[in-house]
Structure 1
Amino acid sequence: MHHTGYTPDTAVVIGAGNALDSALQKGLQKVGFRVQLLGAESFVTSGLAAGSRPIVVNAASCAGGARMADAKAVCEALLNQPCHALLHLSSYGVFGRVRGKKIDEEAEPEPLSERGKDWLACEQILAGVDNASILRLGWQVDRSEDALLGRVLRTLLDGHTVSLDDVSLGNPVTVSDLVRVSVAVVQQLASGAPKAGLYHYGSADTCTAMDFGREVVDRVRSLYGEDFAAELEALDTADDDRSSVLSCERLRDVFGIQQRSWRQGLTRQVELWLERLQKDVKG
């Protein structure tokens, strides 16, 4: 039997019910972990297998607003589960408007939206867990068809104008980069790294939703030809700057994880989402 050197070499992913689940599972398996994928309801009902002390990756909060009640229930259930370490995926949404500066881990969360309040509530439930690491992520652009990439592509394919914020800055995170970072953290948690901490991760370069949309259009035209019709328009958000750019130095200092550009791998992501959306249309 192949030995990875990880202690433990087992991981449990509590899923979000979207594209992130299988990506996390495959990413962890690729580096040698034995992985169990559990849905939120299944975990709340049955918990972890008796006698196991795996590393748990909790992605339940990444399911979207309609599933935040389930995400909170998962966090409550985690309080009574023995695990080697817990990596809880959270969001920049715990902060309100922060203009003109990067947000580090010492900043006090002040969510303005209901979604942000839900993200923070999940963090607060786990605040007393001594082996929990919380990873706040920049805006996730492709975890579901309702996320930015899917919305832009679906609107383009429908032949409609895409309306996007051209004011608020963020450092977005793709599923592939989120998996890279999460797997790297889990590897180090299984190799003696500190089991508790609060960390931020977002891409190395910032952008607005409009900047992102323009890049997506460029990728679509590289696939469909320069004559592909695509019209983008800026939302009227001049007085509503919701910029939230995360500072990620602590993750680098503790785990050695470097930031990447959200542009890396974007063409392949666009190809995969176009294939998925076209299958949905044909189906």
Structure 2
Amino acid sequence: MHHTGYKPDTVVVIGAGNAMDSALQKGLQKVGFRVQLLSAEQFIEGGLPEGVRPIIVNAASCAGGIRMPEAKAVCHALLNQSCHAILHLSSYGVFGHVGSRKIDEDAEPDPLSERGRDWFACEQTLTSLDNVSILRLGWQVDRSEQALLGRIIRSLLDGRAVSLDDASLGNPVTVSDLVRVVVAITQQLASGAPTSGLYHYGSADTCTAMDFGHEVVDRMRSLNGDDFTAELTVLEPAEKDRSYVLACVRLRDVFGIQQRSWRQGLTRQVELWLERLQKPAS
């Protein structure tokens, strides 16, 4: 096997049980890492494989609200593991109402929702370790069928109207862009970069859910024909501004990672979801 020069050259991915898992595994393998994918349950029960001191990419918290008890248990289990570094994937959800201002890495978390408190509890569990990097992500649009992209496409294929927020801004993250960022960070962690830090990542351009929905419809029309019809309706405006836009300066300064537009690769993402949702049941 060609020697990559990574030290270590092994990565353990603790999965979310959704589309992120195989994408992370393939992305890391593509650049030469030896990768082992473990479910949250496998890691909680068995810990790390014997004889390795890897980099751990912990995506367990990205499984969604129903799996947060397992995500918390993973974080507690990580306290007793010997590894080179941990890259823990977190969320903008650790913040409360912040309005239109950008959220930088020095902002104090103040989660208002139960899920936000779960995200923050995971972070707090790991802060006692000196080799943890926390990567807070913008709004993840396509990690599962319950995320926005899958919900929009499924509803439109079923001929149902989709109601979307047209007021609150975010800088969303697609799975493909998340993989790009995680792979770049992991490569640098294995090449001498600092193994602890707090970082934010979201797309270079902001949008509302409605903006995103219109772009998805455009892609569906390009794939299914101009006669494709879709109805997008506006949700009633919220009493408070629910915008969450992450500033991502520290990630650029430490790792040199630039933000990309969420529109990049969107056509391919729509195509993959259409293939999945239109595939005949076997």
Alignment correspondent of 1:70: 70
TM-score, scaled relative to structure 2: 0.99
Alignment correspondent of 1:223: 223
- Mapped partners of 2:238, 2:47: distance in 1: 47
Shift of residue 49 of structure 1? 1.6
Alignment correspondent of 2:168: 168
- Mapped partners of 2:204, 2:96: distance in 1: 21
Partner-residue secondary structure (3-state), 1:112: coil
Alignment correspondent of 1:190: 190
Shift of residue 6 of structure 1? 0.3
- Mapped partners of 1:223, 1:150: distance in 2: 16
Alignment correspondent of 1:3: 3
Partner-residue secondary structure (3-state), 1:82: coil
Shift of residue 97 of structure 1? 1.3
Is 46-55 or 18-27 further displaced after alignment?
Answer: 46-55
- Mapped partners of 2:2, 2:81: distance in 1: 28
Deviations 1:52-88 (A, max 9, x none): 1000000000000000000000000000000000000
Partner-residue secondary structure (3-state), 1:200: strand
Q: How does 1:54-203 map to 2 (within 5 A)?
A: 54-203=54-203
Deviations 1:129-185 (A, max 9, x none): 100000000010000000000000000001011100001100000000000000000
Give the aligned residue type for 2:204: A
Aligned length: 282
Partner-residue secondary structure (3-state), 2:269: helix
Shift of residue 112 of structure 1? 1.1
CA contact (8 A) 2:139 2:172 kept: yes
Shift of residue 266 of structure 1? 0.2
- Mapped partners of 1:254, 1:207: distance in 2: 26
CA RMSD, Structure 1 to Structure 2 (Å): 0.8
- Mapped partners of 1:51, 1:223: distance in 2: 49
Alignment correspondent of 1:211: 211
Partner-residue secondary structure (3-state), 1:44: helix
Deviations 1:26-56 (A, max 9, x none): 0000000000000000000000022310000
CA contact (8 A) 2:15 2:58 kept: yes
Divergent runs of 4+, >4 A: none
- Mapped partners of 1:238, 1:86: distance in 2: 37
Shift of residue 238 of structure 1? 4.3
Unpaired segments of 5 or more residues in structure 1?
Answer: none
Alignment correspondent of 2:241: 241
Partner-residue secondary structure (3-state), 2:261: coil
Alignment correspondent of 1:22: 22
- Mapped partners of 2:238, 2:75: distance in 1: 37
- Mapped partners of 1:51, 1:225: distance in 2: 54
